[in-house]
Amino acid sequence: MTGVHLTAPSVASTAPPTSRMAEPATGGRFGDHGGRFVPESLVAACAEVERTFREAWSDATFRQRLDRLRTVYAGRPTALTPAPNLSAELGLTVLLKREDLTHTGSHKINNVLGQALLAHRMGRTRLLAETGAGQHGVAAATAAALLGLDATVFMGERDMERQELNVFRMTMLGAQVIPVRSGSRTLKDACNEVLRHWVATVDDAYYCAGSVMGPHPYPWMVREFQRVIGEEARAQCAAELPAAVPTHVVACVGGGSNAAGTFAGFVDTDAQLVGVEAAGGAAMTDGAVGVVHGYRSRVLQDADGQVAEAHSIAPGLDYPGVGPEHAHLGDIRRARYVTVTDDEVVAALRRLARTEGILCALESAHAIAWVLRAAGTAELPSGSTVLITVSGRGDKDMPALMAAGR
Partner 1 sequence: MSGQLATALRTAPAPRLVPYVTGGITANWTDYLLAYQDSGADAVEVGLPFSDPMLDGATLQQASDRALARGTRLDGVLADLAAVRDRLTVPVVVMTYANPVVRLGVVEFCRRLAEAGASGLIVPDVPVDELGSLESVAAVAGIDLVLLAAPSTSAGRLREICARSRGFVYAVSTMGVTGERTALDDGALTLASRAREASDLPVLLGFGVSTPAQAARACRAADGVVVASALMRKVLEGAGPDRLARIVADFRAAMDRAA
Exposure of 240 by Cβ count < 10 A (0-12 exposed, 13-18 middle, 19+ buried)? middle
CA 297, 299, 303, 305 torsion-angle sign = negative
d(CA 189, CA 154): 9
Which residues pair with residue 98 across a beta bridge? 390
Interface with partner 1 includes 14 (CB under 8 A)?
no
Active site residue 193: no
Closest contact distance (angstroms) between CB of 123 and partner 1 is: 17
Interface with partner 1 includes 45 (CB under 8 A)?
yes
Q: In which region does residue 214 sit, left (phi positive, over 0), alpha (psi from -120 to 50) or beta (all else)?
A: left
Closest contact distance (angstroms) between CB of 184 and partner 1 is: 8
Closest contact distance (angstroms) between CB of 71 and partner 1 is: 38
Active site residue 97: no
Closest contact distance (angstroms) between CB of 124 and partner 1 is: 15
d(CA 363, CA 317): 7
Interface with partner 1 includes 322 (CB under 8 A)?
no
Interface residue with partner 1 among 21, 31, 33, 36 (CB under 8 A) is: 36
| DSSP per-residue string spanning 265-323 | TTTTSSPEEEEEEEGGG-HHHH-EEEEETTEEEEE-B-TT-PBPPP--SSGGG--SB--
Active site residue 130: yes
Task: Kindly determine how many residues on this chain lie close enough to bind partner 1 according to the rule CB under 8 A.
Answer: 45
Q: Which is nearer to partner 1, 8 or 60 (CB)?
A: 8
Strands 385-390 vs 93-98: parallel, antiparallel or unpaired? parallel
Contact between residue 387 and residue 250 where contact means Cβ atoms under 8 Å apart: yes
Q: Which of 50, 130, 193, 232 is catalytic?
A: 130
d(CA 79, CA 98): 6
Interface with partner 1 includes 384 (CB under 8 A)?
no
Closest contact distance (angstroms) between CB of 182 and partner 1 is: 5
From the list 29-37, 99-107, 226-234, 388-396, the region that binds partner 1 by CB under 8 A is 29-37
Residues 157-216 that bind partner 1 (CB under 8 A): 182-183, 188-189, 191-192, 195-196, 199-200, 202
Residues 263-292 that bind partner 1 (CB under 8 A): 288-292
CB atoms within 10 A of CB 72: 9
Catalytic residues: 108, 130, 391
Residues near partner 1, by CB under 8 A: 1-8, 27, 35-41, 43-45, 182-183, 188-189, 191-192, 195-196, 199-200, 202, 288-294, 296, 299, 301, 303-307
